[in-house]
Amino acid sequence: MYSEQGEQEFLTELEILSEYKHKNIISLLGYCDEEKERISVFEYASNGSLDRHVDNASLTWTERIKIGIDVARGLDFLHVGGSTQASVIHRDIKSANILLTGNWKAKISDFGLSKITAINNEMDFMIDDACGTPGYVDPQYVEQGFFTRKSDIYSLGVVLFEIMCGRTAFLHGQEDLVHLVKRHYEDGKLFELVFVGNLILGFEECRNLMFIYRMN
C-alpha cells in the first residue's frame, strides 16, 4: 500500500543505510523505487530476528553475550556518527529489529523511524506523535515527549534483559518484562530471572553479568 508516511520511512532507511556502514548494522544491497513499487534488498540473516531465539535453550551464554555486545556496538556507532558529523537515533530498538546471521552475529535493522541529528545536540527531538514499540519505549519520552540518544539506550537495556531472561518484553497473559525485572530488583532477587537453559557460567560470572546489564 502506497502512502506518504511509508514513502518517508522508505527514503529515511535508504539515506541512513547508504551512509552508515558497520558490521553490526544490516547492509543495504539495493532498492527499487518506481511508481508505486518500493523494494529494499538487504543482506541475508539466516537466523532471522532475535525475538525468535531469546527463549531458545540451545543458544549458549557465550552466544547471548556476544549478541548483546554486537547490538551495543552497532548502536554506539550510530550515536557517535562514525566518520560523519551526524548522529542517528534509531527510535525503535527491539529484539524483532535485531537480525542474526548464521554465526549469530547481530545486526541492527529497520531504520524507517530513525532521525539524523548533530552529535553535540543533547536534546535532539521533540515528537508530538508517539513512535516505537510498547515495552521498549523510554518512559520519559512517553511522559515528556523528548526522544534522545538516551531513549535508545533504554530500549537497548530492555533487549539485554530479554537476552538474559530468555523471554520477550511481552508475553500474552504474563507480566511485562520491564515491571518483572523492576520488581525482582527491588526484592533483591534479580538473579532468579537469569535464563537457565544451557547455563554454562558459574554463579560469580552470572552475578557479574547481571551487574553489567543493570549498569546499562
The catalytically annotated residue of 33, 70, 92, 110 is: 92
Ramachandran angles phi, psi of 36, nearest 5°: -105, 20
The residue to which cell 525482582 is assigned: 184
- What single-letter amino acid sits at 122? E
For residue 17, give the C-alpha cell: 543505510
Largest CA distance in the chain: 59
DSSP 50-111: GGGTTT-TTS-HHHHHHHHHHHHHHHHHHHHTTTSSEEEE-S---GGGEEE-TT--EEE---
Identify whether 33 is a catalytic site residue: no
For residue 135, give the C-alpha cell: 515495552
> Where does residue 83 rank: exposed (0-12), middle (13-18), buried (19+ CB within 10 A)?
exposed
Residues that are catalytic: 92
